[in-house]
Amino acid sequence: MAAEQRIPAAQYLRRSTEHQQYSLENQSVAIEKYAESHGFRIVLTYFDAKTGLVFKQRAGLRHMLQDVVTGISSYKAILVYDVSRWGRFQDTDESAHYEFLCKSAGVPVHYCAEQFANDNSVASLILKAVKRTMAGEYSRELSVKVRAGQFRLARLGFKMGGHTPFGLRRQLLDANGSHKQLLAYRERKSIATDRVILVPGPRAEVATVERIFREFGDERKGLTAIARSLNEDGVPFVTGNKWTVCTVTNLLRNPKYVGRQIWGRTTEYLSGPSRRLPEDQWAICEDAFWPIIPLELFQRVQARFAQFTHNLSDDQLLEHLKPLLKRHGKLTSRIIEQSRSCPGLTTYCRRFGGLLNLYRKLGYSTPEISFQTTKKQRGLLIRSGLITNLVEAFPSKLEEVRTSKRHRALLRYRKTGLLIAVVLAYRDPETVSGPRWRIEAPKAERKRTAIVAFLDQPNSAIESLQVFKQLCFSRFVVYPGKADKWLQSGHPLSTISEFLKILQGVRAT
């Protein structure tokens, strides 16, 4: 058959690993023979040179499906070596789905090395389903075998990949365990039977590692101070990079400096999400490498890390406060914040949900504390209820939004996208000069259109509402009896149902 009379077709090639050096070439040769004998002419090639088990890692397959679905392809068929080259998807329906997309676009898929024709017959459908299942099962079995082999090598003390820690070097061993050479940065072994262990690096780097451990574990220096001093002294990190808190922390937490090999703390089984494994499933070799840090120093460092706030339990955080309460006879936010023996106030509020909850957990409470704390909590409930009432009154026109996790909720007018602040005015106790309210709003809400709720004397309910075109401040004291330009610019709101009408009038002025 003349070449111009043959049906144009595209071939899809896939290589599973980089070690299959001739896989793509062998597939292409087999597909060309199939095309020659079945009247096809290959006009385009798609390939994935190193692929995983998920679709997003298959750039070649994604490109091909995009061409087919959008109709810009000039070919009338797709030739693939066999079902497994189409993909070892763990869900056989996924493999069938991609093939169906091609077939429904008028571009059928042909498997060149299979013993059946892909003609939608009952036999071919059954065989394809079996082949797809076998392809997925092959990946599952191979994953289990590979992990078992890696686990065994890790238990023997061999390095299992990843970057080389600062101060250490990779030593190449032959199949008999004899030393061959030190591997340079980015250099890899070329023989599969060779193994790699870690050995101490240059003396200057080893001395730097000892210095970092000593400064943190014995001199009690902070991570930031250590990184800064190393950079100021001109001590380069790997490849000349600067030291950071992260690099110092990783170095101090690395058990390889005491000769311990730990592998398999996490798993990404079959390209799934990363999952942390329990310690009894780790591969641990205690004397894998020659240690460059004494075990006692390493343990002191880890004990200091264990005292970091994020590593402390709720009970441990409370234990830090008990001596402070005994010494001062009371607790306040200022006392907690100024104490050097306790974590910061923000940590306690974030962990326990506020000072009142913290004091209750600690068994410490006074009427004054309860009043002040519950006053704030009452305000939060009043503000939340006001926002809810406004949204429920105008469900198609107003919505509650947050500009970020750090900022509190605002109202948004759907029609224009206008963001509206909801602010409370807390009433102070009566004075000789008459009533007054204190308004406090976050800096992010300054200069926004706002609805201000003036609270009653106990600050337990809304006394009146006003809408303002703009908040001109973050903190303000309101004296109703005194003339104030901003206060006079407010528009009273007698009922929630009038809000949008008042809002439009305010914006128009």
Q: Which of 71, 14, 6 is nearest to 45 (CA)?
A: 14
Question: pLDDT for 169-212, tens place per residue?
Answer: 999 988 888 888 888 887 888 777 888 999 999 999 999 999 99
* pLDDT confidence of residue 144: 79
Residue with tokens 């955080």: 317
State the amino acid at position 23 in one-letter form. S
Q: pLDDT class for 428, splitting at 50, 70, 90? A: confident
pLDDT > 80? residue 333 = no
pLDDT > 70? residue 51 = no
Average pLDDT across the chain, whole number: 86
Question: pLDDT for 430-439, tens place per residue?
Answer: 776 778 888 8
Residue with tokens 């002025």: 509
Residues in contact with 277: Cβ distance below 8 Å, sequence separation at least 6, in sequence order: 264, 265, 266, 267
Question: pLDDT for 378-426, tens place per residue?
Answer: 788 788 889 999 999 999 999 999 887 677 889 999 999 999 999 999 9
Evaluate if pTM is beyond 0.75: no
Q: Which residues pair with 42 in a beta bridge?
A: 9
Q: Given the DSSP bridges, would you call strands 109-111 and 78-80 parallel, antiparallel or unpaired?
A: parallel
* pLDDT confidence of residue 208: 95
Contact 79, 34 (CB under 8 A): yes
* pLDDT confidence of residue 44: 94
Residues in contact with 454: Cβ distance below 8 Å, sequence separation at least 6, in sequence order: 425, 427, 437, 462, 463, 464, 465, 466, 478
* pLDDT confidence of residue 19: 53
pLDDT > 80? residue 129 = yes
* pLDDT confidence of residue 251: 95
* HEC letters along 144-159: HHHHHHHHHHHHCCCC
Q: If you average pLDDT over each of 42-51, 94-103, 336-345, 358-367, which comes out highest?
A: 94-103
Q: pLDDT class for 76, splitting at 50, 70, 90? A: very high
pLDDT > 90? residue 265 = no
Q: Given the DSSP bridges, would you call strands 491-493 and 475-478 parallel, antiparallel or unpaired?
A: unpaired
Residues in contact with 3: Cβ distance below 8 Å, sequence separation at least 6, in sequence order: 41
Instruction: State percent of the chain over pLDDT 90.
Output: 38
* pLDDT confidence of residue 159: 87
Question: pLDDT for 198-249, tens place per residue?
Answer: 999 999 999 999 999 999 999 989 899 999 999 999 999 987 889 999 999 9
Angle, helix 245-253 to helix 295-306, in steps of 10 degrees: 120
Q: Token digits for 477?
A: 């004291």
Instruction: State percent of the chain over pLDDT 70.
Output: 93
| Residue 464 to residue 480: CA distance in whole angstroms | 12
